[in-house]
Amino acid sequence: MTADAGEGPGAAAARLTGRRTTATRALPGSGDLAEVTLDDGRTVVVKRGDGPEAVRAEAAGLRWLAAARAVRVPEVRGEDDRWLVTERVPPGRPGTGAALRFGRALAALHAAGAPAFGAPPPGGPVEARIGLAPMRNVPGDDWPGWYAEHRVLPYLRRALDDGALRRSEAAVIERVLRRLPELAGPAEPPARLHGDLWNGNVLWGADEQVWLIDPAAHGGHRETDLAMLHLFGCPRLDRVLEGYQEVAPLADGWADRIGVHQLFPLLVHTVLFGGGYAAQAVAAARAALGHGPAR
């Protein structure tokens, strides 16, 4: 069966899982998510995608992260051009043990690697998404050049065109991009990234495990995921980092490079939401320049 234009999450779940549904509950604060109970007692999360490529990218990303056998991610139960059905994660509370395990698991995920910087997950599209924003997964071999061209510059230009960023503010970010080869730290192999690792995509499960949802998965620099955790806050972050460092110690000076890696998400937010994100992007750029070698 195929979807019809008026189909709701309950009907989509039934069609894509092959199970009859017994209850549907819209999740508060989100117009595109619902929990649907199936006739076998399981509950799934049904998400209305922002177009076929967005659904395809998210489903491929979840499968790619799961294939690393490192972090916990919800199983994909069904998908089409409009809907994604995944396993529901019973909620729990942040705990020290779970945070340590998450840090170790995140290090193992990154170590699973990727074919190149910008490489999409197997079966994933080049024209992917990060939240509500477009994100192109174009492979490259050199992280500083790839990051500047395919992550920062598209949003820097858009922010300028939209008037969300002044020319003088953009000049600070452009200075970081010119100096990326020296500011980026030691060369690292492409890591398997979640890609949108803000606190809202980190679920503390009732099984005392951390689960990751809504990936913008691609090959990238492992410090990017960690910088996202710092940017929007993560409970027990000190313990997460402790667990990470036990498994895969970070290169010296990694904390000084957080601002470099935060430029992309901050510029995405500048374009989408405006507000104070432009000032935060400029502040991150200045922090990166302040920690870099003197010119």
Q: How far apart are CA 280 and CA 259, in angstroms?
A: 10
Catalytic position from the list 40, 81, 162, 196: 196
- For residue 250, the model assigns a pLDDT of 98
Q: Tokens 């924003």, residue?
A: 133
Q: What whole-number percentage of the chain has pLDDT above 70? A: 96
Active site residue 196: yes
Cα 200 versus chain centre, distance: 10
- CATH code, residues 96-291: 3.90.1200.10
- For residue 294, the model assigns a pLDDT of 37
Domain definitions of the chain by residue range: 9-87, 96-291
Of residues 266, 188, 196, the one with CA closest to residue 225: 196
Answer whether 109's CB lies under 8 Å from 70's CB: yes
What pLDDT digit, counting tens, does each position of 107-156 carry? Answer: 999 999 999 999 999 999 999 999 889 999 999 999 999 999 999 999 99
- For residue 269, the model assigns a pLDDT of 96
Would you report the helix, strand and coil content of the chain in percent, each value rounded to 5?
Answer: 45, 20, 35
Kindly tell me the burial class for residue 65, based on how many C-beta atoms sit within 10 Å of its own C-beta (0-12, 13-18, 19 or more). Answer: buried
Name the token pair of 229: 């955790």
Q: What is the C-alpha radius of gyration for the chain, rounded to an integer number of angstroms?
A: 20
Which band of pLDDT confidence, cut at 50, 70 and 90, is reported for residue 4?
low
Answer whether 163's CB lies under 8 Å from 175's CB: no
The mean predicted confidence, pLDDT, of the chain is 94
* Residues in a beta bridge with 87: 44
Q: How far apart are CA 109 and CA 107, in angstroms?
A: 5
What pLDDT digit, counting tens, does each position of 8-32 carry? Answer: 999 999 999 999 999 999 988 666 8
CATH 3.30.420.40: does it fit domain 9-87?
A: no
